[in-house]
Amino acid sequence: MIVMGGIVGVGIFINPYVVAQQLHTPVLILGVWIAGGIVAMLGAFIYAELAALMPQVGGQYAYLREAFHPAVGFLYGWVLLLVIQTGGMAAVTMTFARYLLELTGWPVSEQAIVVLTLAVLTTINCLGVRLGSRVQSVLMLLKIIAIAVLIFAGIFLVRASHPLLHPVLDRRASFDLLTAIGAGMVPVLFAFGGWQTANFIAAEVKEPAKNMPRALVMGVAGVIVLYVGVNFVCVRALGPQGLAATSVPASSVMRIAMGNAGARLIALGIAVSTLGFLSQSILTAPRVYFAMARDKLFFRSVARVTEHTHVPVVAIVLQSVCTLIVALSGRYEQILNYVVSMDFLFFGLTATTVFVFRRRERQREDQAREGYRVPGHPFTTGIFVAVCWLVVANTIYKYPLNTLGGMVILVLGLPVYWFWASRPDAAKGES
């Protein structure tokens, strides 16, 4: 549930129309969603091996620290706190507030809902991993039900009026078609992102070497089924042109199937989905800042855990406060424009750590390591790295100014790392 909760947010309810604006046949639209699922599964394979090899608090932070240098791990945590995690959470929190107020009509401001939502979820996750994971499981179950209702209604309550198998292509095979497929893959890969956050809490999972690979592979497989199902009913009910014309495809399908009541029902499902994503983010990502502080590369208080629940309360509160500042500033849209380049930059970099750890194994006499291994390595790992960095290159090409903002924050992390690392009590990055 934690793996799936980190992936399923609001993207699956909105992004299908973005893809349909780039690609105009059902085969191409469904094809890129299946391709995106394959890339996500490759990522799950990679992170499963890393989780089994190194079930440490902080996930990506620990892998980058041990494979390359503590500075690389620190820069990831720095960008996660200031760009990737808090920017994404701010946008999702505002989305939840808007849907909730639209559904209820409560005479309160969006800002009040944002503050209350973050406060409640932060409190829940400060009370312990078990309680936080139970709440996450309930919210994820509700999300699955909402998506299942959408798929059921789209298949059984909507009369299919659009062909699904022809035409196959919307233009002749050319470079233009290739670039259109690439543009369509971008929102798909965004929607499939998030499986990596489960690794942040690997050290708090029972038998992580066995259970983390299972959770990653099964969780991503489940999301692939849900996502392809949603896009199938969207194309079936609306057709490529109708899908491209609506920015709320899930609501459009449910309105056809069940009228306005159906549209309100799926709006409720979207609100629950955003809430589940926020709960998962608050549960997992603060473990990165905790790990940084434990290595003496951040404020000492961030490494403190409560005596009874063993939860990094300060780290959790720090992230929620940063998220609140971004959300209330109203400038989170600008941050989201360069979240993507930073996120996929570190996706690809983290995947390369598999090559580093495998090489170190070969250099040691005890090179026969038991545990999960990436199927098809090094080819599958190389494909995943290439895809991630192609996304980064595409983002730099399309949004150079916004990407520059993310790069500036990344570079500013270097003097901050130097400050912490130069302190006498700083850890030197040993395992």
pLDDT in tens, 241-273: 888 888 778 888 898 888 888 888 888 888 888
Mark 169-203 as b/e (b = at least 16 C-beta within 10 Å).
eeeeeeeeeeebbebbbbbbbbbbbbbbbbbbbbb
CA nearest neighbour of 85 among 242, 318, 328: 318
Sign, CA torsion 126/129/131/135: positive
Angstrom distance (rounded) from CA 229 to CA 219? 16
pLDDT at position 384 is: 95
What does the pLDDT average to over 175-193? 82
Which tops the pLDDT comparison, 117 or 12? Answer: 117
pLDDT at position 80 is: 93
The residues near 85 (Cβ < 8 Å, ≥ 6 apart) are 281, 285, 319, 323
Q: In this model, does residue 309 exceed pLDDT 60? A: yes
Residues in the chain: 431
Query: For 50-59, 158-167, 302-311, 341-350, which range has the lowest pLDDT when averaged over its residues?
Result: 158-167
What does the pLDDT average to over 183-196? 84
Structure tokens at 22: 């780039």
pLDDT in tens, 273-298: 888 888 888 888 898 999 999 999 99
Amino acid at 307: E
Phi/psi of residue 128, nearest 5 degrees? 140, 155
Contact (Cβ atoms closer than 8 angstroms) between residue 272 and residue 146: yes
What does the pLDDT average to over 11-37? 88
What does the pLDDT average to over 143-171? 80
In which band, very low, low, confident or very high, does the pLDDT at 178 lie, cut at 50, 70 and 90?
A: confident
What does the pLDDT average to over 356-362? 89
pLDDT in tens, 89-121: 887 888 788 778 877 888 898 889 999 999 999
Q: Where are the domains of the chain?
A: 2-421
Q: In this model, does residue 220 exceed pLDDT 90? A: yes
Angstrom distance (rounded) from CA 45 to CA 33? 18
Query: For 5-19, 62-76, 365-379, which range has the lowest pLDDT when averaged over its residues?
Result: 365-379
Contact (Cβ atoms closer than 8 angstroms) between residue 79 and residue 392: no
Contact (Cβ atoms closer than 8 angstroms) between residue 168 and residue 27: yes
pLDDT at position 137 is: 81
Angstrom distance (rounded) from CA 412 to CA 78? 9
Q: What CATH code would you report for 2-421?
A: 1.20.1740.10
pLDDT > 90: percent of the chain: 33
Contact (Cβ atoms closer than 8 angstroms) between residue 96 and residue 292: no
Phi/psi of residue 9, nearest 5 degrees? -125, -125
Contact (Cβ atoms closer than 8 angstroms) between residue 199 and residue 64: no
pLDDT at position 119 is: 94
Query: For 53-57, 58-62, 322-326, which range has the lowest pLDDT when averaged over its residues?
Result: 53-57
pLDDT at position 210 is: 86
In which band, very low, low, confident or very high, does the pLDDT at 431 lie, cut at 50, 70 and 90?
A: very low
CA nearest neighbour of 93 among 10, 35, 153: 10
Angstrom distance (rounded) from CA 17 to CA 235? 10
Structure tokens at 69: 């240098």
pLDDT in tens, 375-424: 999 999 999 999 999 888 877 877 787 778 888 999 999 999 999 998 87
Whole-number Cα distances in Å, 54 to 60, 82, 200, 208, 302: 10, 26, 11, 9, 22
CA nearest neighbour of 57 among 144, 8, 129: 129
Q: What is the 3-state secondary structure (H, E, C) of 301-366?
A: HHHCCCCCCCCCHHHHHHHHHHHHHHHHHCCHHHHHHHHHHHHHHHHHHHHHHHHHHHHHHHHCCC
pLDDT at position 426 is: 63
Which tops the pLDDT comparison, 430 or 252? Answer: 252
Contact (Cβ atoms closer than 8 angstroms) between residue 126 and residue 317: yes
The Cβ of residue 92 has, within 10 Å, a number of other Cβ atoms equal to: 24
CA nearest neighbour of 201 among 315, 355, 321: 315
What does the pLDDT average to over 66-94? 90
pLDDT at position 369 is: 63
Contact (Cβ atoms closer than 8 angstroms) between residue 305 and residue 87: no
Whole-number Cα distances in Å, 361 to 352, 365, 366: 15, 8, 7
* C-alpha triplet 214, 220, 222: angle, nearest 5°: 95
Q: Exposed, middle or buried, 341 (CB in 10 Å: 0-12/13-18/19+)?
A: buried
Query: For 44-53, 74-83, 222-231, 321-330, which range has the lowest pLDDT when averaged over its residues?
Result: 321-330
Q: What is the H or E stretch that residue 134 is in?
A: helix 129-156
Q: In this model, does residue 162 exceed pLDDT 70? A: no
pLDDT at position 429 is: 47
Cis amide prior to 167 (ω within 30 degrees)? yes
